[in-house]
Structure 1
Amino acid sequence: MVRPLLLLLSIINSSALHPAEATSPQQALTRAVDNLWSQQHDDGSWSSEQYAVLRSGQALTPFVLHALLGSTDSLSTENAEKAQLAMRFIIEHLDADGALGRSDPDILEYPVYSTAYAILAIERLRALDPSLVGIESEHVLSMRTFLLNAQFDGDDGFTTAMAAFGGWGFNIAQQPGESGHMDLAHTRRALQALRTMQSGIYALADYDLIYSYHAQQFLRVLQKQSTALAVQPLPESAETIMSSPFDGGFYFSPVVLAANKGRFDEEENQWRSYATATCDGILALLAAGVPKDDERVTAAVGWLKKYTNLDYPQGVPTDHPEPWGEAIRFYHYAARAEVYRALDFPPAERDALAAAVIKHQRTDGSFVNTVSPLMKEDEPLLATALAVVALTHCLP
């Protein structure tokens, strides 16, 4: 009986790996959402079995929950209970500073990311049904305080002459003036979470919005546009700097230079703009309060409209030894879709993006990037949540 059982399990597992039949964006979204809800643990979390840094559930839970809550205008009774269970998991893992992702002293799970998505998930749940938000409200202010304190500014020993000034990174400053890992993606999420709280019961006074002006200064460092106030650091020498040539796009980090997936263009003597960074840059500008018709936004949108390959984030070299372009497939879909929704791109472009996503769906409703583990998209929970974000923002 052992061999037949093993054969049956093999057939079941292999069927989940095969692409699903063509379907509509809404059908694909529904199947992906159902798959994610089915993966929730009894304690309310979602966690990875293959990556230690995602194993506790502190990072994946708020991200997956936010994706799920964003995919619907209402929750069934069962899913409402599951959402509240996830919220309890999140609150139980906050530390004294209001940060999520730091309950294990040996493994930090992206505290800025995790805390930002916790706020976004709570506020999305409040929008769906205020009655579902209970004790979470008591903790939102502490989470906001953590994010504000995590911004690299004068209180942390950063001056306006430093490239990291005004941005966010993996965690709070390690030492005065030392950011550790920091980049555009963390900055975007922190800004979006803070922006979500700009109205209603948590609204900040005008004089408290200095964080957004500092953030805009950081974004100028990363954007290559005509009003740039900043200069790019050259590889291997942060002391040698250069003016940023105009093309409207964004690169990723002025501090962790190896994180720039567009790499350094030796001929142009600059860090390349690339698609995912430019999408993050647009969303970060909007979250920092920059109007849609501002030159900074329109310049970045112009770059994105010029580089329209949906299946590969243009600007990332295709001949690099490490396949970074393939590794961020679903991140690219999600970030581009969020821009398309935020700036009301034509329905035809959103339909084309949805079709690009759908072709990767497996028969069990999940998604996975098997090309490369560089960005952990070979973890189905992460890839599927990114696909849910993409499909959600592609729909009318």
Structure 2
Amino acid sequence: MFPHCVHHWIPILGIVLLLPGRLIAQDPLTEIPVDQERFQSRQQQGRQAIFKGRRWLEQQQSDDGSWQSKTYASLESRVATSALAMSTLVELTSTGVEQKETINRGLVFLKSKINQEEIWKSVEAESNYPLYSICLMLATLNQLQPEATVNRELRDSLSRELLRRQRILQADRLSEGDVAGGWGPGSDSFQQGSAANPANVSVTYFALAALTGAQKLPLKNRFAALDYLQHCQFPTEATGAGGFVFTFIPDHPLNKAGSKPNQTGKLYGVPYLSASCDGISALLACDVTFADRRIQTALTILPQLSHSRLAEFPFNTKRSYQKLDALYFYEAAATARVWKQMREKGVENQFLNSRCHEVLQTLIEKQQADGHWENPLPWMMEDDPLIATAFALQTLHHCLTPAE
């Protein structure tokens, strides 16, 4: 479902996910000038794709307001899938427009799963991805009548829970090489040395974005997060300098572009596109400006980083794919999000222009007749149409939202 979930498949896929494999999906994307007229001609097709995709996503809602995965029994609690669907639909709803019944029923379902006295226990019990779920719930409430008393109280409770789950100020629990300041995905949040679920740049971004949207990010937590992000952004002597890895543990299988030694033999994870886009957005959520060296170096390296391609559908067994290809829709949403953030600040980037133009075209061409998308590769759960469609809709929304 989210880019950390590959570890759930290790027992099933075994050697497929643990070996680096051949990174032959694509040559590095070059900065091709965008044909603006052609891009403009895609705008209407993109809007039609959003309309069809949103209608499909709304039609998947159950009578109780939830969204149930029909692909993964492990998501039977419906909390994670419902939080993702809800956050996507709310993002697509313009400010000031009366919320549809779909959104209202979804909100009722999510609230029914939260015991405000023990938020973590209630969400953990109901969701395979409790931190992601809390982040998405808070992000949804940030946009839905944020001043309503009942929503404000719940936002405050969710914010406190997120802050409590940040890996911060626990020096006695740090293992060698561990760094506090980030967020991990699951219930082992206080087990600093967890090999399965380390803090990562993806959950850290979602937590920072939700807390910033709720105006609940204290300075000490912001500084701790920046310290964590510094360890995920690679120094000049490493491959892909300036880019971000998923987690700073270099040989962790969740670093989907693998790892390499530098000239002195020190092992580094290899940065890749989706992690670097999450890193840039996380820095922005901490009030780092686009002019800052950390963001400028990340933007400079983006064209050189490994990125995904969408596997053929129906699946072509004669083609070779890398782990990154299994998170095509997540990467597309992250890339388009950064592009939108830059456009809002009046900042141009030719690589992101080219990449988003390419992704927009692919999403329009690969949308299924009923409005959904899916990825034939199962390793990141994007073969679940609910997950792929949510990220595809976010991508289209970011690509087609006019710069302010």
* Correspondent of 2:102 among 82, 90, 95: 82
CA contact (8 A) 1:59 1:109 kept: yes
**Shift of residue 341 of structure 1?**
0.5
CA contact (8 A) 1:310 1:356 kept: no
* Correspondent of 1:304 among 302, 305, 330: 302
Work out the number of aligned pairs and report it: 338
Match of 1:235 in 2: none
Distance 2:47 2:121 in 1: 32
Q: Deviations over 1:149-205 (max 9, x none)?
A: 10111247445975331010023545564455121111111111111112xxxx56x
Match of 1:141 in 2: 156
Q: What is the SS of the residue equivalent to 1:257?
A: coil
CA contact (8 A) 1:45 1:86 kept: yes
Q: Note the 1:88-99 alignment, pairs <5 A.
A: 88-95=108-115, 96-99=117-120
Distance 2:121 2:142 in 1: 16
Distance 1:352 1:273 in 2: 21
Distance 1:90 1:48 in 2: 16
**Shift of residue 264 of structure 1?**
1.3
* Runs of 5+ consecutive residues of structure 2 not aligned to the other structure: 1-41, 312-318
Match of 2:289 in 1: 291
Q: Which one-letter code corresponds to 1:280 in the other structure?
A: D
Asked if residue 339 in structure 1 is aligned to residue 345 in structure 2, the reply is no
CA contact (8 A) 2:183 2:203 kept: yes
**Shift of residue 102 of structure 1?**
3.0
Q: Deviations over 1:320-348 (max 9, x none)?
A: 98731221111111111111101124695
Asked if residue 260 in structure 1 is aligned to residue 255 in structure 2, the reply is yes
Distance 2:226 2:74 in 1: 30
Aligned-CA RMSD value: 2.9
**Shift of residue 97 of structure 1?**
3.3
Match of 2:3 in 1: none
Change in Cα spacing, 1:266 to 1:33, as seen in structure 2 (3 Å) is: same
Change in Cα spacing, 1:162 to 1:147, as seen in structure 2 (3 Å) is: farther
Give percent identity, aligned residues only.
Answer: 28
**Shift of residue 364 of structure 1?**
0.4
Match of 1:184 in 2: 201
What TM-score do you get using the length of structure 2 for normalisation? 0.75
Question: Which sits farther off after the overlay, 294-303 or 175-184?
Answer: 175-184
Match of 1:380 in 2: 385
**Shift of residue 50 of structure 1?**
2.3
CA contact (8 A) 2:307 2:324 kept: no
Q: Note the 1:5-24 alignment, pairs <5 A.
A: 24=45
Asked if residue 35 in structure 1 is aligned to residue 50 in structure 2, the reply is no
Q: Deviations over 1:104-137 (max 9, x none)?
A: 3xx742111000000101112237xx6xx56232
Change in Cα spacing, 1:307 to 1:149, as seen in structure 2 (3 Å) is: same
Distance 1:147 1:286 in 2: 18
Match of 2:234 in 1: 224
Distance 1:38 1:100 in 2: 30
Match of 1:116 in 2: 135
Ranked by relative contact order (alpha carbons within 8 Å, sequence separation 6 or more), the top structure is 2
Change in Cα spacing, 1:126 to 1:368, as seen in structure 2 (3 Å) is: same
Larger Rg computed on CA atoms? 1
Q: What is the SS of the residue equivalent to 1:359?
A: helix
Change in Cα spacing, 1:308 to 1:154, as seen in structure 2 (3 Å) is: closer
Distance 1:336 1:42 in 2: 34
Q: What is the SS of the residue equivalent to 2:119?
A: coil
Q: Deviations over 1:210-265 (max 9, x none)?
A: 11110111111110145xxxxxxxxxxxxxxxx74662111111248111101012
